[in-house]
Amino acid sequence: MSRILIIEDEEAIADLEKDYLELSGFEVQIENRGDQGLQTAMNREFDLIILDLMLPGMDGFEVCRRIREAKNVPILMVSAKKDDIDKIRGLGLGADDYMTKPFSPSELVARVKAHMARYQRLVGAGQKTNDIIEIRGLKIDKTARRVYIDGVEKNFTTKEFDLLTFLAENPNHVFSKEELFRKIWNMESVGDIATVTVHIKKIREKVEFDTSKPQYIETIWGVGYRFKI
Ligand code: CA
């Protein structure tokens, strides 16, 4: 369950926010002081923090700044004064959103959900591992579009990369030059199948130890090429 911390000294507002958020399926904790709110934010993991500006103990500006130094959690700042919102923006404290009181609870819930979804997408993207093909000393990082031979990166043009990756993804399958040209260069492209030959030559110069005895891309005379595994 997603957890939200509300740092708010006006109990009626804090309770109202809590009720609506709990109805939407969130687990909510309330802190009524800035300093205590900061401590809780640092010591426990939350998926989002709703932070009031005027607070006893430590104001919302300082709380926001300190949380942001340590954590990426989304922070939604709230204030009764429009001027304060402008000030928060100007200070660049790293708050993700701002709301002026009074706001409707449904608007709060909608914003909370939007920020949480965005944050989880970011976190999810960060944890996703790269899509990698490894065959003997050749490593193709499809996500980063990089190629390594025995750990050393080789520079590939877009089409060289696409051609090598396509062949490596379909090992032991013989493709004619026409098929490869259609597949990598598309039908609209101007050019001819000699382009394929040129690119294969360039790829071999980068990946093969001895281009006269290729260990990755093999020429099948009169037919085309195949990636050997
Ligand atoms: Ca307040």
- Give the distance (Å) from ligand 1 centre to CA of residue 9: 5
- Give the distance (Å) from ligand 1 centre to CA of residue 90: 20
- Tens digit of pLDDT for each residue in 17-68? 999 999 999 999 999 999 999 999 998 889 999 999 999 999 999 999 999 8
Q: Is the pLDDT of residue 216 over 80?
A: yes
As a whole number, the mean pLDDT across the chain is: 89
Q: Is the pLDDT of residue 190 over 90?
A: no
- Give the distance (Å) from ligand 1 centre to CA of residue 53: 6
- Give the distance (Å) from ligand 1 centre to CA of residue 11: 9
- Tens digit of pLDDT for each residue in 134-143? 888 899 999 8
**Which of 120, 132, 12 has the alpha carbon at shortest distance from 73?**
120
Q: Does domain 132-227 have CATH number 2.40.40.20?
A: no
Q: Is the pLDDT of residue 131 over 60?
A: yes
Range from 13-22, 142-151, 159-168, 197-206 carrying the lowest mean pLDDT:
142-151
Q: Is the pLDDT of residue 92 over 80?
A: no
Strands (E), 42-127: 48-52, 75-79, 97-100
- Give the distance (Å) from ligand 1 centre to CA of residue 185: 62
Q: What percent of the chain has pLDDT over 70?
A: 94
- Give the distance (Å) from ligand 1 centre to CA of residue 33: 9
- Please report the pLDDT score of residue 87 as a whole number: 75
- Please report the pLDDT score of residue 127 as a whole number: 56
Q: Is the pLDDT of residue 151 over 60?
A: yes
What is the domain partition of the chain in residue ranges?
Answer: 3-126, 132-227
- Give the distance (Å) from ligand 1 centre to CA of residue 7: 9
- Give the distance (Å) from ligand 1 centre to CA of residue 1: 27
Strand order in the sheet with 27-31: 27-31, 3-7, 48-52, 75-79, 97-100
- Please report the pLDDT score of residue 129 as a whole number: 63
Q: Is the pLDDT of residue 186 over 90?
A: no
Tell which wins on pLDDT, 100 or 87. 100
- Give the distance (Å) from ligand 1 centre to CA of residue 80: 8
DSSP state of 211: T
**Averaged over 206-219, what is the pLDDT?**
92
How far apart (Å, rounded) are the C-alpha atoms in residues 99 and 179? 57
- Give the distance (Å) from ligand 1 centre to CA of residue 112: 19
- Please report the pLDDT score of residue 125 as a whole number: 60
**Averaged over 206-228, what is the pLDDT?**
92
- Give the distance (Å) from ligand 1 centre to CA of residue 94: 20
Tell which wins on pLDDT, 83 or 5. 5
Band the pLDDT of 144: cuts 50, 70, 90: confident
What is the CA angle 30-25-41, rounded to 5?
A: 30
DSSP state of 104: -
Could you tell me the fold of the domain covering 3-126? Rossmann fold (3.40.50)
Backbone angles phi, psi at 153, to 5 degrees: -75, 140
- Please report the pLDDT score of residue 206 as a whole number: 95
